[in-house]
Chain A
Amino acid sequence: CVCVCVYRPVLAKAIHSLSRIGDELYVEPQEDGLALRSVNSSRSAYACFLFAPLFFSRYTVPRGHTFRCKMAIKSVQAVFRSLASLEKTVEKCHIELDEQKNRLTFTLHCKHGLLKTHNLSFQDSESLQAVFDKDSYANVFRSNPRLLVDTVVLFPPSLEEVTVSVNDERMWVRNHVEEEDQSKAMLTELCLAADEFDHFAVQTHNSVTFCLKELRGLLVFAESVGLPISMYFDEPGSPVVLSVTDSVLEGNFVLATLSDDPNNRKNNSRRAHTPPPPPDDFMNDDIDAYLIAMDTSIAPGPSATGPPTTALAASTCSKQPAAANHRTRLHSEEEEEEAGGRGNG
């Protein structure tokens, strides 16, 4: 397989972004493009960048022959170490995969005639492909990356998980805190209005909880290349998919979500009984009104207010990349609100 392209920073940025997910880079030259993938050790986060043949000025793959390999991502990062200097000096990038010699060669043609050749050894690898069908997911959003970056920056860097909840007009992002720690932890919640997004389509009022750390890699990437981020999710347990696309590139980050979220169930059931919030709530900068609202037991948003109820048993919450659809009480109660019921995603 041989790919040659005029060097574009997006290639190096994609590799750095994949390194935030896992330690190994999976390379698979496909007929529809060069696929670069990574997965984390617990298999709860997967990312794939597909560079279409048009990204390259020359793209040759042997016909009808599948080949996959993997290598330490640090070795590839070393080839594209300094993004700033790469942009200034690299003119052309030549990638060649030699099956016989088990070698992946990156040749960077730089200014002043300097030629940098990196021969990296790789191992054969099993297929790495997450199973997901984002187009079938109930909730779809698209925004410029700045919106999500500005949201995420409000949470501490050490924060592991976030919960994203949506209704027809709003998205709430809050830090996920285990049941036992509710009364001791600081809860942070941010509300985004539908009109802050380029596209906001909600079919099911869901909440999903996933790991924030792995998402940050995509956010950095999208912001640095200036591409909008599309977000797809379904029910808890089903993965959340974040995508960036342009005409020659598609990146997908698939993150597992908590499959059984008792917190979610409790809040959703409560919410089902409350009237829809007045449209201007949260929209004025009236902090006092917000604080008063927080004190009441009927909260306008999905945030957990008041002392945690003791009735909830600590059910086993395990992350599964593709869990069976988990029908919560939420669905049965809200079905009458929706135009049509939703099928399995």
Chain B
Amino acid sequence: MPLSTQSQADDEQYALVASMDNARNLSNILKAITFKDHAIFSATPNGLKVTVEDSKCLQANAFIQAEIFQEFTIKEDLVGFQVNLTVLLDCLNIFGGSTVPGASTALRMCYRGYGYPLTLFLEEGGVVTVCKINTQEPEEPIDFEFCSNNVTNKVILLSESLKEAFSELDMTSEVLQITMSPSQPYFRLSTFGNSGNAHYDYPKDSEMMELFRCTKTQTNSYKMSLLKPSTKALALSCKVSVRTDVRGFLSLQYLVRNDDGQICFVEYYCCPDEEVEEE
């Protein structure tokens, strides 16, 4: 692979080096969280975490484990920086991003450290492109303090069934209301639009419901504009876990299989729109 002809000595200067034979394994998952220009990159020996936030109410994270990369070398315990995600995606797709079988863009991502740009070496068909993207001081991602102990309700659904519901959601509704309950209607998505309201009910014994663990009846509303971007993650995923905690915060976790069948995760955290009387 041409990119690996770079001398070992060069690598000494980089805090982070990550290589991938198929850049699409990174670009596809990043597309699932691109609703804002800027993303916070946090790399640890476990892998790469990319975070995008919106108005302090929504946070999306994409996790790409170290094992997904052909090479993942990190000098410190945590390497963090912020880049323009749109620019990064444009670079990753610099060879056109077409899905011609056999042709894929190889990626080598290098970061020297604080103050240095993020360097991308991209190769396809013997042609190498070098991109240097300016980095910024990483902001501290919000800690939504979502912990398993406080989870009141959890379901895991096959994405197929949710995709249809999300594609039909009434966009004139300001909120998406999610009801989870140990009794009827079990799991319900509701919208309140100009022409009326709509409810999508998933029974707990449906073949689409892989896991159903609801302890308490809860109804929470979330701004539709905040949740809309999550449909990109839903489209890529095969399974999704929906959890709410005692405060009504929502956690959506998507299991995504990449081109090579490897598993990555995308998660969305969202604050409730308003306090709804719990039934």
With contacts A78-B168, A85-B164 taken as known, whether A119 is within 8 angstroms of B201 at the C-beta atoms is no
Closest A-chain residue to B202, C-beta based? A114
A residues less than 8 Å from B196 (CB atoms)? 75, 103, 118-121
Within A224-278, which residues are at the interface with B (CB < 8 Å)?
Answer: none
Q: Are A112 and B207 in contact (CB under 8 A)?
A: yes
Interface residues in A76-97 (C-beta closer than 8 Å to B):
78-79, 81-82, 85, 89
A114 & B198 in contact (Cβ 8 Å cutoff)? no
- Residues 93 to 149 of chain A near chain B (Cβ within 8 Å): 103, 112-121
Q: Scoring A residues 56 to 82 as 1 if CB is less than 8 Å from chain B, else 0, what string do you get?
A: 000000000000000110110011011
B contact residues around A78 at 8 Å (CB): 168, 170, 195
Report the separation of the CA atoms of residues A113 and B157 in the bound assembly, to the nearest whole angstrom.
Answer: 13
Contact of A115 with B201 in the complex, beta carbons under 8 Å: yes
Q: A112-B161, A113-B205 are in contact. Are A75 and B195 (CB under 8 A)?
A: yes
- Chain A min CB distance to B240 (Å): 15
CA distance A115 to B165 in the complex (A): 10
Count, chain B residues at interface, CB 8 A: 21
- Establish whether residues A112 and B208, one from each chain, have CB atoms under 8 Å apart when the complex forms: yes
- Closest Cβ of chain B: how far from A320's Cβ, in Å? 33
Query: Is B206 part of the contact surface with A, judged by Cβ < 8 Å?
Result: yes
- B208 A114 Cβ-Cβ under 8 A: yes
Interface check B199, CB cutoff 8 A: yes
B110 to chain A, nearest CB (A): 45
Chain A: interface residue count, which band? 20 to 34
Q: Give the nearest-CB partner of A103 in chain B.
A: B196
Inter-subunit contact B200/A74 (CB<8 Å): no
A117–B198 contact, CB under 8 A?
yes
Residue B138 at the chain A interface, CB threshold 8 Å: no
Q: Choose one: A71, A103, A114; the contact of B201 (CB below 8 Å).
A: A114
- A79 contacts across to B, CB distance below 8 A: 198
Across-interface contacts of B170 in A (CB, < 8 A): 78
The answer for the CA separation of A114 and B202 in the assembled complex, in Å, is: 5
A69 to chain B, nearest CB (A): 13
Write out the residue numbers on chain B whose beta carbons fall within 8 Å of the beta carbon of A112. Answer: 161, 206-208
Q: Across the two chains, which residue of chain A brings its CB closest to B185?
A: A115
Contact check, A113 vs B199: say whether CB atoms are below 8 A apart.
no
Collect the chain B residues with CB atoms within 8 Å of residue A85's CB. Answer: 164
One of B165, B195, B202 near A74 (C-beta < 8 A): B195
Query: Shortest Cβ distance from B160 into chain A, in angstroms?
Result: 9
A-binding residues in B (CB < 8 A): 161, 164-165, 167-168, 170, 185, 194-203, 205-208
Chain A interface residues toward B at CB < 8 A: 71-72, 74-75, 78-79, 81-82, 85, 89, 103, 112-121
- Contacts A/B (CB < 8 Å), 15 sampled: A71-B195, A72-B195, A74-B195, A75-B195, A75-B196, A85-B164, A113-B202, A113-B205, A113-B207, A114-B206, A116-B165, A116-B168, A116-B200, A118-B197, A119-B198
8 A-B pairs closest in CB distance:
A75-B195, A113-B206, A120-B196, A115-B201, A113-B203, A117-B199, A112-B208, A118-B198
